[in-house]
Amino acid sequence: MSKKSATVVLAHGAWAAEASWGKVVNLLQSDGIKTVTFPLPLSSLADDVAALDGVLAKVDGPVVLVGHAYAGAVIAATQSAKVRALVYVAGLAPDEGETVAEVFNRYEHDNKAPQLAPGADGLIRLPQDAFSSAFAQHASPEEQQVLAATQPPISPACITVPVGRPRWKDLPSWYLLAGHDHMIPAQTQRFMAERMQARISVHPVDHVPSISAPELVQQLIVDAVQQIKG
C-alpha cells in the first residue's frame, strides 16, 4: 500500500466492544493497511459522533470509516472531510429525519431476536443467552462468553434522535449483509443497503462477522480502500 492509502477507522456498535474488531485489525495490518479502533461512549448519538470526530482529527490523510450495527448511524453523521468511503457491517443507516430505532424496527424481527428494554440504570443490555442464540451464534462458546461479559450497553438517547443528512448520500458505500442475523433482519439490511446504493456483499453470517467471519469483513474493507486509493 502506498503512503496515500486510506487509514481504516473502525467503530463498534452496541453490545460488542472495541475489541470485537481484533481479528479484522490483524488481517488488515497484515495487508499493510493502517487501522484505528476506539471506544464509543454509547451515551447519545451526539456524544458518539464527537468521539469519532476526535479520532479523525488525529488521522493523517484519507479515511475509510467502518461501522458495525448502531455505529452505521455514527459514521454517517461525521462531517469530517477526511472520510472518503463508508463500510457497513450489518450496519444501521437511518435517512435524514429518521431515528435508528425506526429503521431498526422497519421489518418484523424473527423469534430469536431478544426483547430490548432499558434496565434500572436506563441503559439497554442484552440478556446473556442472546449472545449464543441471536447476536453471535456462529462464534465459539468462549467468544460468546467474552462478548456477554464485556458488552457495552447503549442509551436510548443514541437511537431515538432523528439524524441529519447522512454522508452515504455523498460518499461511496459498501455493505456486508449478514444473512443469518437475528438482531437486524436481512430484509431491513437489504432495504438500507439498496437505499444508499451501496456495493452489497451477502453472506450467511451472524450479527458479528468481525468475530465469526473476519476474512469476509477484511475483504470488503480492502475493496473500499483499493477503490479510493490515491
130: CATH: 3.40.50.1820
Across the range 142-166, mean pLDDT stands at: 96
- Predicted local distance difference test score (pLDDT) of residue 4: 60
Q: How far apart are CA 5 and CA 7, in angstroms?
A: 7
Helices (H), strands (E): how many in the chain?
9, 6
Measure Cα distances from 230 to 17, 30, 167 in Å.
Answer: 31, 20, 21
Q: Is the residue at 201 inside a domain?
A: yes
> What would the DSSP string read from start to end of 60-120?
-S-EEEEEETTHHHHHTT---TTEEEEEEES---PPTT--HHHHHTSS---TTSPP--B-T
The pLDDT > 90 percentage for the chain reads: 92
What is the per-residue pLDDT for 109? 86
pTM of the full predicted structure? 0.95
pLDDT tens-digit readout, 5-29: 899 999 999 999 999 999 999 999 9
pLDDT computed for residue 228 by the predictor: 85
Specify if 42 maps to a domain.
yes
Task: State the total domains in the chain.
Answer: 1
| Spatial CA neighbour of 229 closest among 76, 71, 64, 45 | 64
User: Does 192 fall in a domain?
Assistant: yes
Residue 156, classed as helix, strand or coil, is: helix
- Please indicate, yes or no, if residue 39 is contained in any of the structural domains: yes
Q: Element (H or E) spanning 8, and its range?
A: strand 7-11
In a domain, 138, yes or no: yes
Using DSSP bridges, classify how beta strands 173-178 and 83-89 pair: parallel, antiparallel or unpaired. parallel
* pLDDT confidence of residue 1: 37
| 75 pLDDT higher than 50 | yes
Residue 2: inside a domain: no
pLDDT at 230 over 70: no
Q: Is residue 210 part of a domain?
A: yes
Q: Give the chain's end-to-end CA distance (angstroms, integer).
A: 10
Structural domain that includes position 184: 7-228
Q: Is residue 1 part of a domain?
A: no
List the grid coordinates of 74.
Answer: 455514527
Which tens digit of pLDDT belongs to each residue from 37-61?
A: 999 999 999 999 999 999 999 999 9
